Chain A
Amino acid sequence: MELLRNIADNYYYMVAVVLFVIGMYTMLTHSNMIKKVIAMNIMDTSVFLLFVSVGYLSGGRAPIVDEGLSAAAYANPLPGALMLTGIVVAVSVTAYALSLVVKIYRYYGTCDYDEITDIRSRE
């Protein structure tokens, strides 16, 4: 029972981990390159969610210091700030990955890894 209650209390961690595994599985097993890139984003997003939820405080205030309030009243701003950087990084990796897919598509006329292997083995 206690395990279940722990899970229910921290369901946002669970969601993040499930998303992470979905992303990782799709990224490694799917042969379609666009799907790989999407999966990469799902995986990154799951980590962002996890990180942001670490800094969340239910009923917490935005961290603009107000006199007469203790530090415990504010949500932790640091994870949010870090994840902003993380999002920028993820966007640039995605852009670069998609540009590679475009170039590969020009050579083969497909963005499916299995089909590319077929085409190459026939040559």
Chain B
Amino acid sequence: MGPLEHLPVLMVVIFFCGAFLMPLLFRWARPICAPLMVAILAAALVMAIIILQSVYQLGPQLYHLGGWPPPWGIELKVDLLRVYMLLVLFVISLWIFIYALRDLGNELKEELIGWYYTLYALLVGSMAGIALTNDLFNLFVMMEICAITACAIISIKEDRECLEASFKYLILSAMGTGCFLLGVAMLYMATGYLNYDYLHGSLVEAIALYPRNLLLAAALFIVAFGTKAALFPLHVWLPDAHASAPSPSSAMLSGLVIKIYAFALLIVFYEVFPAEMLQGVPLNEIILWLGSLGAMFGSIYAMLQTDLKKMLAFSSIGQIGYIFMGIGFNHEMALIGGLYHVGVHAVTKAMLFMAAGVIIYATGVRKISDMDGIGRNLPLTMAAFAVGSASMIGLPGTGGLISKWYLSLGALEMGRPFFVIIILISSLLNAVYYMPIVINAFLYHGEFQFRVKPVPRVMLATLIFGMIVIIISGVFSRPAVVLLEDAVSRFF
């Protein structure tokens, strides 16, 4: 094994070390900051790929932090499910970072860019920690780091909207962590453990002794993760926060940060809570209904928006609803669909926010009604927007279709065709607000009214990469689906 043994913790620590170095280097060796960040992100990605290989060969692995065995020490775990999340996380954060290199200078003051790198590294590292950890209290610490840095990459822009939005986000997210910690206390009171595997073992007995405590814990977890992942009706902070942030931050927040909390909910509900606990009370049913309400109302709110980024933000509420539906069905196919949507929506929404960022960079236009005819001036950007929209709607050839397909298959196999109708209606609603933008951009008869700056090549290259990934995820979905089948089969 040798040094490879320590890869799981290195994937988190490398970011925290990088975050510590960035402000120093930005002061004294400014040119190496950005290449170093790219190197760190790429190194993490390589580590995740190596771990994927070793998980395929040797099966899931546990890592004891500092050599302390559980239940006392913190434990990290790598299995296929977590490695999938890590791969999504690192690929997309590297991709967004390359875009950010050009866009940040436009949105932030020069001297703040080093601090932005720090926050970015902390954010990615804490999300990797959330995905890897096998310990509830460690999860709490990582969630708090994630919450503070997620607010900070909004407020770093320092205009009025950003500050207000990030304060609102911070307060609601603090409410979420308060609820989470109370839930952890309930579980700790009943079992005396914080490690997922030990908890799972002892909850089977504890459920007969303290049914109310444990139900309260489950309810608190739904509220906590629901608030942080913008599950309808706990989504109120999201539109302002995601719309006012600098474009790379919006891409990061909408693409990854809300997903990681949905993923944490999935892990807690499927790995920690025993199946008996979910049978007595319709917890899954609650998640399922809230998810489908979110899928409907997110789209309806999005239709009413006039600001492009705000529309994209509301659309995220709808899309996160699909992921929660996948969790709530408690069926293998649907869970695969939900998890596939984690990846697909992360790519798609990040790309749409980047396209919006390019539009703002080149023309300064934010209102949807001002964008008529923009397709002739920014053809590549609007082509990317069109591909992204197609994936959001779930047109054939894009990743969005695959995740909705598996979700619907799961719903049908559970004998609940009603939810297939909900998925169809919300897809239709997606089409209602995404399609007019694309159509007006390309087919509008008049001229585009605003002056257009040339767009840097790096930005366009990142958009092209996004388009390719979306189309590959729609056409060659088999490898990822097989990986997910292996990953979730142990739950059923």
Contacts and interface: CB of A to CB of B under 8 A. Distances in A.
Nearest to B186: A50
Contacts of A108: 160
Interface size class of A (residues with CB under 8 A): 20 to 34
B185 A50 contact: yes
Interface residues of B, number: 27
Contacts of B144: 89, 92-93
Nearest to A17: B182
B164 A116 contact: yes
Contact of A93 (B137, B148, B155, B185): B148
A33 B167 contact: yes
Interface string B141-171: 1001001100110010010100110110011
A119 B189 CA distance: 48
Contacts of A50: 182, 185
A47 B182 contact: yes
B137 A103 contact: no
23 contacts: A23-B178, A27-B171, A27-B174, A40-B175, A47-B182, A51-B185, A54-B189, A78-B72, A79-B188, A82-B137, A86-B140, A86-B181, A89-B144, A92-B148, A93-B144, A97-B170, A97-B171, A100-B151, A100-B167, A101-B167, A104-B164, A104-B167, A107-B163
Nearest to A105: B163
Contact of A85 (B137, B155, B158): B137
**What are the 9 A-B residue pairs with the smallest beta carbon separation, nearest first?**
A43-B178, A47-B181, A89-B144, A100-B167, A40-B174, A107-B160, A50-B185, A51-B185, A104-B163
Contacts of B181: 44, 47, 51, 86
B164 to A, nearest CB: 6
Contacts of B178: 20, 23-24, 40, 43-44, 47
Contacts of B72: 78
A96 B149 CA distance: 10
Interface in B173-203: 174-175, 178, 181-182, 185, 188-189, 194
B181 to A, nearest CB: 5
B188 A51 contact: yes
Given A27-B175, A43-B178, A116-B164, A100 B185 contact: no
A43 B155 contact: no
B112 to A, nearest CB: 13
A89 B144 CA distance: 7
Interface of B: 72, 137, 140-141, 144, 147-148, 151-152, 155, 158, 160, 163-164, 166-167, 170-171, 174-175, 178, 181-182, 185, 188-189, 194
Contacts of A44: 174, 178, 181
Contacts of B175: 24, 27-28, 40, 43
A79 B193 CA distance: 11
Nearest to A43: B178
Contacts of B160: 104, 107-108
B300 to A, nearest CB: 24
A99 to B, nearest CB: 9
Given A40-B175, A96-B151, A97-B170, 16 more contacts: A24-B175, A43-B175, A47-B181, A47-B182, A54-B185, A86-B181, A89-B141, A89-B144, A92-B148, A93-B144, A96-B152, A96-B170, A97-B167, A100-B155, A101-B167, A103-B155
Contacts of A33: 167
A100 B174 contact: no
B170 A100 contact: yes
Contacts of B185: 47, 50-51, 54
B158 A103 contact: yes
Interface string A17-54: 00010011001100001001000100110010011001
A96 B163 CA distance: 11
Given A23-B178, A93-B174, A100 B189 contact: no
A82 B181 CA distance: 11
A36 B170 CA distance: 11
Contacts of A85: 137, 141
Interface in A43-70: 43-44, 47, 50-51, 54
Most buried by A among B155, B167, B188: B167
A9 to B, nearest CB: 14
Nearest to A82: B137
A43 B173 CA distance: 13
Nearest to B173: A93
A19 to B, nearest CB: 11
Most buried by B among A28, A93, A100: A100
A103 B163 CA distance: 7
Nearest to B136: A82
Nearest to A42: B178
Most buried by A among B151, B164, B189: B164
A23 B179 CA distance: 11
Contacts of A23: 178
Contact of A40 (B141, B152, B171): B171
A32 to B, nearest CB: 12
Contacts of B155: 100, 103
Given A44-B178, A107-B160, A93 B188 contact: no
A122 to B, nearest CB: 14
